[in-house]
Structure 1
Amino acid sequence: MTMNPQGGKAFGILKAQQDDFLEEINKSFLEDAKYNTDGDLEQKLRAFKQKYMEFDLNGQGDIDIMGLKRMLEKLGAAKTHLELKKMIKEVTGDMGETISYCAFVKMMLGKRSAIAKMIMMYEDKTKEPEKPTGPPTRKSFRDLP
């Protein structure tokens, strides 16, 4: 008797399959002469894959309107339903209602989209500011306001 995976296990299997699929797409970008001149392309593609998988809420391989909504809410830039549809059309060239991984990578490497800028903003917001190390600097009376 074969048991079907349930709950978290099924989701884990789905995410592993998605990871493999996106990795194959990344390899095609690494082999593409249009993109492979970028020195840190491999590192960028890894980061793009991770972000994409985070916002692909249903694990189907596309970011739908709800995934885009969640992404923008995390950025503190909530949008209306019509604005979200317009953003998806910008990325897909009016060819669909979801953002495929290929379209996502092309958008991110092209640096022409407002969505790409928002994602980069999000990345910068999540980084911890560097804390000074070592002893505090000496101050004199001239340094006082």
Structure 2
Amino acid sequence: MPSGQNVQGGKAFGLLKEQQRQKLEEINQEYLEDQKYRDEEGLAEKLEGLKNKYAEFDLTDEGEIDMMGMKRMMEKLGVPKTHLELKKMMVEVTGDSSTTTINYRDFVKMMLGKRSAVLKLILIFEDKANGAPCKPDGPPPKRDIASLP
């Protein structure tokens, strides 16, 4: 691990995430003022949701989702991808075959764009899955003989 990297959480991490969200909010403001997206229904709410989702998966806090961030996202969604599949998704989003990161502008363009991207579909399904009840945490409850089949 590099010695210059601050891995401390808590207050410093909270301030860093707040700065990141402010930067993303400035980019969101550009989209709200852009004529191309004026007819988009519920644009402000969509951009707010995209900002939160992007900040969650931006592991480096450099304004980009890198390959490991994408890998984490796919694993969290229950659809782990190989390195080659992740690379293909990034090329689809950015249009650049040499890139290993997705910046916020590419992310928003992909999510608001009309073309159907793999990542867009996965994120939509994640939102639907969030409404489903999740598994309980912790050890299973104790059972007695009467409850056995």
- Smaller-chain TM-score bracket: 0.7 to 0.9
In structure 2, list runs of 5 or more residues that go unmatched: 1-7, 134-149
Tell me by how many angstroms 1:69 deviates.
Answer: 0.7
> What is the TM-score of this pair, normalised by structure 1?
0.80
1:90, CA displacement in angstroms?
1.0
CA distance in 1, matches of 2:13, 2:91: 29
Cα displacement (A) at 1:8:
2.2
**Structure 2 letter corresponding to 1:84:** L
Q: Please give the residue correspondences for 1:96-115 in structure 2 after superposition, counting only pairs within 5 Å.
A: 96-112=99-115, 113-115=117-119
Q: How many Å separate the matches in 2 of 1:61 and 1:38?
A: 24
Please list, as runs of the form range in 1=range in 2, the aligned pairs for 1:59-70 lying within 5 A after superposition: 59-70=61-72
Alpha-carbon deviations, 1:32-90, whole Å to 9, x = none? 00012112000000000010001001211110111111111111110001111111111
Over the residues paired in the alignment, what is the CA RMSD in angstroms?
A: 1.4
Residue 126, structure 1, aligned to residue 145, structure 2: no
Percent pairwise identity:
56
1:13-24 aligned within 5 A? 13-24=15-26
Counterpart-to-counterpart distance in 1, 2:112 and 2:73: 18
Q: CA deviation at 1:7?
A: 3.7
Q: Corresponding residue for 1:134?
A: none
Task: Give the TM-score of the pair, scaled to structure 2.
Answer: 0.78
* Runs of 5+ consecutive residues of structure 1 not aligned to the other structure: 1-5, 130-145
Paired position in structure 1 for 2:31: 29
What number of residue pairs does the alignment pair up? 124
Which secondary structure state, in structure 1, belongs to the residue aligned with residue 59 of structure 2?
coil
In the alignment, the residues of structure 1 paired with residue 99 and residue 19 of structure 2 have an alpha-carbon distance, to the nearest angstrom, of: 23
Question: Who is 2:91 aligned against?
Answer: 89
Letter aligned with residue 67 of structure 1 = G
Amino acid in structure 1 at the alignment position of 2:66:
D
CA distance in 2: counterparts of 1:79 and 1:43, whole angstroms: 29
